[in-house]
Amino acid sequence: MSETAIRPSLPLAAIAAFAVIAVLPLFLSDWIVFLIALALAKGAVVLGVVLLLRGGLISFGHALYFAIGAYTVGFLANRFGIGEALVALPLAIIISALVAATLGLLLTRFRGIYFAMLSLALSMILYTVLIKFYDLTGGTDGLSVRGFALAGVTPTHPALVQYYLVLVLTVAVVYVGARFLASPLGYLMQAVRYNEIRIEYLGASASRAILASYVVSGAISGLGGALVAYLIGHVSPELAFWVSSGDFVFVAVLGGTGSVLAPFVGSIAFEFVKNYALKFSPHTWKLTLGVFLLLVIYFQPQGLWTLLTRLRAKPR
């Protein structure tokens, strides 16, 4: 079945999912609400990875944009005393997009393992810069993010305001992602995976399609990083480390690539499994995560998202 066939049911599923998430703070403890917000923010980065995966390109370096977004918030708050989200978030998106546009010129020349390794190398360069330029970046200590404000107001319950900020922006990201996947560029990215020769003989450019997608992907990932910086209240070089990039790819596989909602489903599942694994088996939590992924790959090779679509499609 073509990946496009699931498109019509998306809006209803998305509205229902976000309506449920919106009322969760009324019923759940603070740490679970925090975990959901964190998962949604990271889900934006996973969506960025998925946009490229649909073109057959695996980015093992998306922590680069995750960290750029986070450090934009960190620098503004820590060095300039600007905690205003309406300033920091757009700036994080713009800077991430500009970096993606620049690095994309180089990356679009590569495919397969070369694309994956080069993207990884670029993120590790940022990681090293963040560690070595101590005076500017705080080195391994990182930067604390203080003074969160939204539209000039410093909230009395920042965690709750941040939760709804993340939720609203996740809706916006899902909307942009859905438009992207349904657009000619979204389909052209799928075409890249199947046949670049035909793209050129249709008079289109595979490289330009990848570059445009890479910029969109980088911008969305930068936003995800910026939101995580507000949620955690601290940024550190670990955000740019290769393990962080690996996690995003891991979650992309976990959630699947068949829907714009899949990265968020995968991200929520990942955060919960990881945290409960840490709680109940602190010495073997990585093993638990690995087994979880293996089970998903074995029983739901198209990702957790297909589990939801299959349950919905079951005859009553």
Partner 1 sequence: MTATMIEVQNVSRAFDMLRAVDDVSLSVGEGEIVGIIGTNGSGKTTLLNLITGYLQPTSGRIVFQGTDITGLGPRRITALGMARSFQTPQLYTGLTVLDNVLIAIAAHSGRGADFWMPMYRRDCLSEADELLARFGLRDQATATVSNLPEGGRKVLDVALSVVLEPKILLMDEPTSGVSARDKFSVMDTLMPALKERRVTTIFVEHDLEIMERYAERGVAFDGGKIIADGPVTDVLARLQVRRAVLGED
Q: Which of 64, 73, 130, 199 binds partner 1 (CB under 8 A)?
A: 199
Residue 267 to residue 252: CA distance in whole angstroms: 8
42/54 with CB nearer partner 1:
54
- Of 30 and 200, which CB lies nearer to partner 1 in the complex structure? 200
Separation of alpha carbons 62 and 65, rounded Å:
6
For residue 153, what are the β-bridge partners?
Answer: 150
Shorter beta-carbon distance to partner 1: residue 43 or 177:
177
Contact string (CB under 8 A) for partner 1, positions 40-69, x = contact: ------------------------------
Q: Is 212 near partner 1 (CB under 8 A)?
A: yes
Per CB under 8 A, 238 contacts partner 1: no
Out of 202, 287, 294, 295, the only residue in the binding site for partner 1 (CB under 8 A) is 202
CA angle, 305 then 309 then 315, to 5° = 155
Q: Tell which one of 180, 230, 241, 270 touches partner 1 (CB under 8 A).
A: 180
Binding segment for partner 1 among 71-79, 164-172, 176-184, 293-301 (CB under 8 A)? Answer: 176-184
If one asks whether residue 19 binds partner 1 (CB under 8 A), the answer comes out as no
Q: Is 284 in the site for partner 1 (CB under 8 A)?
A: no
Select from 142-150, 156-164, 209-217, 225-233 the region that touches partner 1 (CB under 8 A): 209-217
Point out which residues bind partner 1 (CB under 8 A). 1-4, 179-180, 182-188, 190-191, 193-195, 197-205, 208-209, 212-213, 216
